[in-house]
Amino acid sequence: MNNERNNNTAAGGIGFCGLLGIAFIVLKLTGVIGWSWLWVLAPLWIPAVIAIGILLICLVVVLCCELLKGARK
């Protein structure tokens, strides 16, 4: 019983986008869907594009704030 309380292992998983990507790949390879590979692999690359976009927006905001601080001095 004491071991159950002290078990700090994290259970990771494939995630929704990974599972959706695998499902789309299987459907494409079996001929069920006739989508372009760009859209079949979209669940794998769209989250990365969103993350890069958020990082770029944050970078622009930080740079603008620093430039405004410099202009005030």
Q: What's the confidence (pLDDT) of residue 3? A: 53
pLDDT of residue 7: 61
Measured distance CA(65)–CA(48) in Å, rounded: 26
The amino acid that residue 4 corresponds to is E
pLDDT at 2: 53
Label residue 10 exposed, middle or buried (CB < 10 Å: 0-12, 13-18, 19+): exposed
Phi-psi region of 11 (alpha: psi -120 to 50; beta: other; left: phi over 0): beta
**pLDDT value for 36:** 96
What is the pLDDT, as a whole number, of residue 8? 65
5-51 tens-digit pLDDT: 666 666 778 899 999 999 999 999 999 999 999 999 999 999 999 99
Token pair recorded at residue 61: 């905001």
Q: Phi and psi of 51, rounded to 5°?
A: -65, -40
Tell me what pLDDT residue 26 has.
97
